Amino acid sequence: MESMKFNSLRKIASILVGLSGLMAISACQQISPIKNSITILGDSFSDNDTGYSELTKNETEQTLKRLQQIRQQLQKHHSLAYKGPIRHIWDRAHANYQIKYEDNLRIEKQATLLLRDPDYLYRVSRRAEPYVYYILQEIEKRGLPGEILLLPVIESAYRPNAVSRSRAVGLWQFIPSTARFLGMKQDKWYDARRDVVVSTQFALDYLTKLNKLFEGDWFLTLAAYNGGQGTIQRAIKRNRRLRKPTDYWSLKLPRETHNYVPRFLAASRIFANPQDYVVNIHPVANQPYFSSIDAGGQLELQLAADIAGITLDELSHLNPGYRRWATPPTGPHNLVIPLYSSNRFRQGLASLPQSKRMRWAQHTVKSGDTLSGIASTYRVSLTTLKQSNKITGSLIRVGDRLLVPVNPMKGTSKKLASRERDNRSKSQHQDSDFHTVRKGDTLWHIARLYKLDIKTLKSLNGLNKDSVIHPGQRLRIRAITSSTEVALSK
């Protein structure tokens, strides 16, 4: 009897054997979240994996113990919506949970994967901070389940610049064909898939349409978002033909889609009750982080950053949809600006003369000049050159003066550009010795981010136990001596 019991335990534990070969997720690894292939977790096992017979009895029981602990926690939370006080954004999302609970071993397996690196979800939740308030607001406007806030955790680990091997891009991981089908703009100036605001609207609208198509079944909806609606519809037809159930759990699907919904459900349970899984989730404040502001026309990004009083890196991080040094000539011109800088940006933009929004070169047309030749000389597109000078045809005359938008990092003044890069590099190196406090920051979070203990952080900044930090305050996170190095957690 004891032998039979042990054999059954070994069969259950076999599901987790494939995990032994997986490397722990590191914040420094290249994230490669993709559709229809391997996801950010590096999930490379299948249900047919074998090898559990090679485990010792002790190893099997240890693995099974962890699985049983996760199962107990998952089963503990049958109720969907959170009823307590809203302490942070994750509570607010939890209060709007709508997707039914499912007791399935595949969910437990994915929860084990997500928890392999105990700091992974903390890093992801910290990275999500600038975006989640806006995303949850859009989710609620559409009446969608609060769990959808966790979808970018699975899709991109909340990296707006994530790119997959199948060329899926952005927080929501749109592949080029899907983006074109939905009407998302993609050109050399701008990629809507990377635009946090625009891609969120497209993703949520797309999920709404898929959910209507699959008659309110969120498991099928999410599977279709990952694998394509055609894949799911064909799987349903196949099961109907074989007189088999047509629910998500009964469908034969590609491995990625097979694991996708269980991983999403596991993430939603862990974020709802992190204390039960002994994992830290960054408590993002339930308040907006940014404003989306229409710049009203083409604007150089470095100038926009200067007006807002932030670095170009921070502006670019919040506006990854822009692929060049300025907003596109024909738009869009919306810029995501940190809330604490938004009023300053609006005021500065209002007082900025139109002629100062871009760096311009003036070209006097000579005999033999053509628009395409001039555009090539200044490394701008013909369309940009024509739009900048309100030219509808191709006729230009000798003596005409044309304005050409110039990339400040290119052009004829290479020495100036080099000097600007050097100055920016020095400034950024100096800035790396400091952390600018943002809303929601605590000394504990800052110390953890830079791998310091709180005592050291306080000592570097002359703080005591009664000291209070405030947004905009600069805290030193490196010692003044150049020999002291602090490893940054990326």
Show which residues are catalytic.
155
| Residue 190 β-bridge partners | 322
CA nearest neighbour of 388 among 343, 354, 348: 354
CA Rg value for the chain? 26
Residue 46 neighbours by CB distance under 10 Å: 10
CA atoms within 13 A on the CB side of 474: 7
Cβ-contact 146, 136 below 8 angstroms: yes
111 to each of 38, 107, 119, 459, 462, how far by Cα in Å?
A: 17, 6, 14, 39, 42
Pairing of strands 401-405, 434-436: unpaired
The two tokens of residue 220 are 């099928």
User: How deeply is 49 buried, as exposed, middle or buried, from its count of CB atoms within 10 A (0-12, 13-18, 19+)?
Assistant: middle
Q: Which residue type is seen at 112?
A: T
Tell me which H or E stretch contains 435.
strand 434-436
Q: In the block, which residue shows the tokens 């047919």?
A: 48
* Cα–Cα distance for residue pair 143/139, rounded to 1 Å: 6
String of DSSP letters for 55-76: S-HHHHHHHHHHHHHHHHHHHH
For 293, the enclosing helix (H) or strand (E) is strand 290-294
DSSP 264: H
Contact 218, 228 (CB under 8 A): no
- The b/e string for 199-218 (b: 16+ C-beta within 10 A; e otherwise) is bbbbbbebbeebbeebeebb
CB under 8 A, 24+ apart: contacts of 64-71: 64/9, 64/12, 64/13, 66/16, 66/112, 67/12, 67/13, 67/15, 67/16, 67/108, 67/109, 67/112, 70/108, 70/111, 70/112, 70/115, 70/277, 71/108
What Å distances lie between residue 384 and 184, 208, 399, CA to CA?
A: 21, 37, 20
The dihedral over CA atoms of 297, 300, 303, 308, expressed in degrees to the nearest 10, equals: 50
